[in-house]
Structure 1
Amino acid sequence: GYATLGSDGRPRICRVEKPVYGMAQAGRRWQRTLFPWLLHFGFIQSSSDPCIFTLRKGDEQLIIGCYVDDLFVLHSDDSPSSLYANFTAALTNRWNVEDEGPVSDLLNVDIVRSHKHVTLSQASYIQHLVDTFMPDGVPA
């Protein structure tokens, strides 16, 4: 922050009552709010990675990966009455969230989906690294 002085010449201090986007502790505070909500919704938290949650009802399954304030949701059905639809409706009712549609990249991993396969690659990230650190190209 910036130091400011009051009319008496003394430094002013303000206390932030809740996290502000971009603050170091904002992600952790969000996690402490979101994770209990997911558990209450019925998700099971992974013991090997606490940022992965799963929920299964009948033939449907949801898997959620959390990265700071982004959720990566895998689902087996997206019909209007599906578990995914119910989850996204509950999430939207609770918080101001935005569904960005099918994912094409996540944490510098390109994701290409076909009917039967999912292909993961880092070609774009590798090209970015080459462009950044080898502006004259890769030596022959």
Structure 2
Amino acid sequence: MKPPAGYTKAKPGEVCILKRSLYGLKQASRQWNKELSKFLKVLKFQQSTQDYSLFTRNLDGEFLVLLVYVDDILLTGTSLTQMQEVKTALDKAFTIKDLGQLAYFLGIEIHRTDKGVFLSQRKYITDILADAGMLDCETAPAPLSRGLKLSTEAGDLLEEPDVYRRLVGRLLYLGITRPDLSYCVQHLSQFVHSPRIPHLRAALHVLKYLKGTLDNGLWYSSSYDLQISAYSDADWSSCQYSSRSLSAYAVFLGSNLISWNTKKQKSVSKSSAEAEYRSMSATANELVWIQGLLEDL
């Protein structure tokens, strides 16, 4: 930071004391979030105890939901009038840009019909394929080759390991709408510290699978079924190096998949039953959080 033009009182070796946050400082994002949250509470929004980026408002029989991602905001509700009032207030306080009906958000494409909403990342996948020079590549029937076994030692080290790390990071983000990638991305993530040629070859195979499934995504029907159901599974002692097991779960709201995860367990399970119980425990933890989130809504 430099003193404003024309300020000549500062002597060599002296520094200025900031009385407020400035854009670019390490604490700026937190200060912005505090300021926005404070303003939304003035507008009678309640901040969720389960997700601090979620705000809800019940006022005069109308219900609004507002979601914040840094300085990107989603707003929906039962009253167009109240929604417009909120947007007007936000614009007056911070100056905002209204992008209209939601169609694209943080790399996610939103397609709305009378029967529900479809989420996909077709453009994001296309960008990944273009960067890898694989727009015209052949397709693959599955994310990983049948019988694939990756090792931390087999194959030569990559000369540019950041290429692999960046690709795996992009696949992780793609998992927002692609639960079918959950296992393979978890598997590939184990080698980001020291990636080798076979690891990159496996990651590029995932891109071949994506080429053939560009239009896959998540469908959320407009059903009134709010029954929560969950499924868990475990692969006992699946890691050839640590003998740790793999946990996985999927949670549905009605027929809609709302949460899923594939993760290596933190400690070694001494039996398949113990591995299954650990997976069930992780699933139960997720269900408790989801229940709290739904109660906030």
TM-score range, shorter chain: 0.7 to 0.9
| Cross-structure match for 1:36 | 38
Aligned to 1:86: 85
* Alpha-carbon distance between aligned partners in 2 of 1:99 and 1:40, rounded to the nearest angstrom: 21
2:55 is matched with 53
How many residue pairs get aligned? The number is: 131
Is the deviation greater in 29-38 or in 113-122?
113-122
TM-score by length of 1: 0.76
Q: Give unpaired runs (5+ residues) of structure 2.
A: 3-11, 140-297
Q: Which structure would you say has the larger Rg?
A: 2
| 1:91 counterpart SS class | helix
* Residue 97 (structure 2) aligns with: 98
AA in 2 matched with 1:109: I
Distance of aligned partners of 1:131 and 1:32 in 2 relative to their CA distance in 1, 3 Å threshold: same
Partner of 1:7: none
Could you tell which deviates more after superposition, 104-113 or 86-95? 86-95
The code of the aligned residue for 1:30 comes to W
Partner of 1:127: 126
For 2:32, the aligned partner's letter is W
Deviation at 1:67, TM superposition (A): 0.8
Query: What residue ranges of structure 1 are gaps of 5+ in the alignment?
Result: 3-9
Which amino acid is the alignment partner of residue 66 of structure 1?
V
**How far apart, CA to CA, are the structure 1 residues paired with 2:24 and 2:133?**
31
Aligned partners of 2:24 and 2:91: how far apart in 1?
A: 22
Distance in 1 (CA, whole Å) between partners of 2:99 and 2:85 is 17
Three-state SS of the structure 2 residue aligned to 1:39 is helix
Q: Is 2:78 the counterpart of 1:65? A: no
Aligned to 1:53, the other structure's residue is in SS state strand
Provide Cα deviations, 1:81-135, integer angstroms capped at 9, x if missing partner: x221221222222222221211221121101223442211111111111111x30
Task: State the Cα distance separating 1:60 from its structure 2 match.
Answer: 1.9
Would the alpha carbon gap of residues 126 and 40 (structure 1) be closer, same or farther in structure 2, given more than 3 Å must change?
Answer: same
Deviations 1:26-63 (A, max 9, x none): 22111111101112221111111100000122442111
TM-score, scaled to structure 2: 0.39
Q: Which has the higher helix share?
A: 2
- Structure showing greater relative contact order (alpha-carbon pairs closer than 8 Å, 6 or more residues apart): 2
